[in-house]
Amino acid sequence: MSIDISPASAPKKLSPKERMAIERQCMPEQGATARAANFKEVNLGFPEQLAFLEAERCIQCKDPKCVQGCPVRVNIPRFIGFLAAGDLAGAAQSLLGDNALPAVTGRVCPQETQCEEQCIRGIKGKPVAIGYLERFVADWAREHRNGAKPAAVPASGKKVAVIGAGPAGLTAAGELAKRGHDVTVYEALHQAGGVLVYGIPEFRLPKKIVDMEVQRLRDAGVKIECNVIVGRTYTLPELREQFDAIFIANGAGLPVFMNVPGENFKGVYSANEYLTRVNLMSAYEFPSADTPVLVGKRVVVVGGGNVAMDAVRTAKRLGAEDAVIVYRRTKAEMPARVEEVHHAEQEGVRFELLVAPLEVIGNDKKWVTGLKCQRMQLGEPDKSGRRRPVAIPGSEFVLECDVVVVAIGTRANPLLTATCPELKLNKRGNIEADENGMTSLPGVFAGGDIVRGAATVILAMGDGKKSAQAIDDYLRKPAASA
């Protein structure tokens, strides 16, 4: 079927049948061999024509289920409707009103378990490529709406401190600035972005995009002070004296190790360290960047989430001949985004499934030489409903390798909370907060991974947005300054 999609002419009205006949468009991407040897973005983005065509697939449901699947309730049919009508500016305005960082979420949301999972077109066939369209509109907006100054808002006279410049903190900062508050973001590292700059690799989310979003916030009057570690440079009680309200969004950055023998041998990294060296510190450009990273010939990454996929694909790009995922369940239970697992497979990553690590093996110089593992089988379902892996006796074997990356999770970093014992935490060290992000301390709000445990970018942003509203309400209450 041929459809006139030249953007100059107004799009033709399609019959429902024609609309239903359009197939889901594929994301153009760098070829697997080429990209496995560079750090450039894998997905190249829809060209305009594919975007318009894909937008036509949306049947503009009266009761759009997709929106229910989106944690921040982006009005999906609305922005896609503008797009289908060729009105890119309209689409951008609609999308940006709902989602502060669409260029980021369009790239990293697990769409297949969120918006796209609910899309009606997915019942018989493939769902509308909402994430790809979101990315397309966001990228267009970035290139075409530069300099669009946000409308000036009257200053509220209130000061708010945001701790942590990850997606939760940045979203909250933007929303608070929009409401006229004087916002200062404190970030421990030398660069704003949180996991978006130190964890998620360049080949999935170019740093340039995050930097531009951060610049947009600065232009909107948000002050961002890097190299400030709250808990050390300032304590929480000190900030409470200086600010009318506080939003804590310091993430869940404490790496969890396996607790097996040999874990301190040279060549064992936490995923946080491995990815920070490569992303934040640009170690993939060593020696033109100063920070080194060990380039393994055979790299084993333990874990099955996005973090593990990012680490293993990074290893491949650094030049590993063999890059292996060790995961103790099956592919079906992997928490990673489907696209990431798929891309990793295409790039030649090996998967050792139903395998659990027992011990890191090293030589007499204490360099890693292997990972001793055992095979597992799935037994009875556990509390999470997933079938529990059970060790198969006598199945031990050694995976030879020279670098091991541990990507089995992160926890709350106690650096900040330790300076404020009155702040209520749960058993796992996460801050307790109600649905608006209010903590046990008046005027102190929290959101993102520090409250949820390691979650997702969009949930962190959702928290930032909600808490900004709650902080605004709190500050406008007459008694607030008392």
Partner 1 sequence: MHRIVAKIQLSPNVTRLDVEAPRVAQIRQPGQFVIVRRTDRAERIPLTVADADPKAGTIALVIQAVGKSTKELVALNVGDVIRDVAGPLGMPTELISKGRALCVGGGVGTAVVHPIAQGLHARGASVTSVIGGRSKEWVIFEPELQRYGNVVVCTDDGSYGRKGFVTDASRELLEAGGIDIVYAVGPVPMMRAIANLTRPFGVHTIVSLNPVMVDGTGMCGGCRVDVGGETKFACVDGPEFDGHKVDFDLLADRLSTYRPQEQAAAERCGDNCRVGLNK
Ligand X SMILES: Cc1cc2nc3c(=O)[nH]c(=O)nc-3n(C[C@H](O)[C@H](O)[C@H](O)COP(=O)(O)OP(=O)(O)OC[C@H]3O[C@@H](n4cnc5c(N)ncnc54)[C@H](O)[C@@H]3O)c2cc1C
Minimum distance from residue 393 beta carbon to partner 1 (Å): 29
Residue whose CB is less far from ligand SF4, 64 or 267: 64
Choosing among ligand X, ligand SF4, partner 1, none, which partner's interface includes residue 114 (Cβ < 5 to 8 Å by kind)? ligand SF4
Q: Work out whether 314 is an interface residue with ligand X (CB under 6 A).
A: no
Minimum distance from residue 276 beta carbon to partner 1 (Å): 6
Rounded-to-integer distance, Cα 461 and Cα 463, Å? 5
Footprint on this chain of ligand SF4 (rule: CB under 6 A): 58-61, 64-66, 70, 72, 74, 76-77, 99, 105-106, 109, 111, 114-115, 119-121, 128, 130-131, 134, 458
Among 349, 406, 457, 471, binds ligand X (CB under 6 A): 457
Q: b or e along 374-400 (b: 16 or more beta carbons within 10 Å of the residue's beta carbon)? A: bbbebeeeeeeeebebeeeeeeeeebe
What is the CB neighbour count within 10 angstroms for residue 243?
20
Tokens of 361: 């093996």
Tokens of 240: 């409470």
What is the CB neighbour count within 10 angstroms for residue 125?
10
Choosing among ligand X, ligand SF4, partner 1, none, which partner's interface includes residue 249 (Cβ < 5 to 8 Å by kind)? ligand X
Give the burial class of 23: count Cβ atoms within 10 A of its Cβ; 0-12 exposed, 13-18 middle, 19 or more buried: exposed
The mark string for 195-224 relative to partner 1 (x by CB under 8 A, - otherwise) is ---x--------------------------
Rounded-to-integer distance, Cα 452 and Cα 145, Å? 34
Cα dihedral: 34, 36, 40, 41 (round 10) = 100
Q: Work out whether 226 is an interface residue with partner 1 (CB under 8 A).
A: yes
The mark string for 400-419 relative to partner 1 (x by CB under 8 A, - otherwise) is -------------xxx----
Tokens of 26: 């594929």
Phi (first) and psi of residue 380, to 5 degrees: -65, 150
Q: Work out whether 471 is an interface residue with ligand X (CB under 6 A).
A: no
Angle at the Cα of 278 from the Cα atoms of 275 and 279, rounded to 5 degrees: 80
Which secondary structure element, helix H or strand E, spans residue 143, and what is its range? Answer: helix 130-144
Tokens of 106: 């369009």
Choosing among ligand SF4, partner 1, ligand X, none, which partner's interface includes residue 89 (Cβ < 5 to 8 Å by kind)? none
The mark string for 208-247 relative to ligand X (x by CB under 6 A, - otherwise) is ---------------------xxx----------------
Angle between helices 338-346 and 306-318 (to 10 degrees): 20
Choosing among partner 1, ligand SF4, ligand X, none, which partner's interface includes residue 310 (Cβ < 5 to 8 Å by kind)? ligand X
Tokens of 30: 């760098």
- Only one of the segments 160-168, 324-332, 344-352, 424-432 lies at the binding site for ligand X (rule: CB under 6 A); that segment is 160-168
Minimum distance from residue 290 beta carbon to partner 1 (Å): 4
Q: Work out whether 176 is an interface residue with ligand X (CB under 6 A).
A: no
Which secondary structure element, helix H or strand E, spans residue 133, and what is its range? Answer: helix 130-144
Tokens of 68: 């229910």
Work out the end-to-end distance of the chain between its first and last CA atoms, rounded to an integer number of angstroms.
68
Binding site residues, partner 1, CB under 8 A: 188-190, 198, 226-229, 232-234, 253-255, 257, 263-264, 266-267, 269-270, 272-273, 276-277, 281-282, 286-292, 294, 365-366, 413-415
Which residues lie near ligand X (CB under 6 A)? 108-109, 163-169, 186-189, 194-195, 199-200, 229-231, 249-251, 253, 275, 306-307, 310, 337, 413, 415-416, 448-449, 454-458, 460
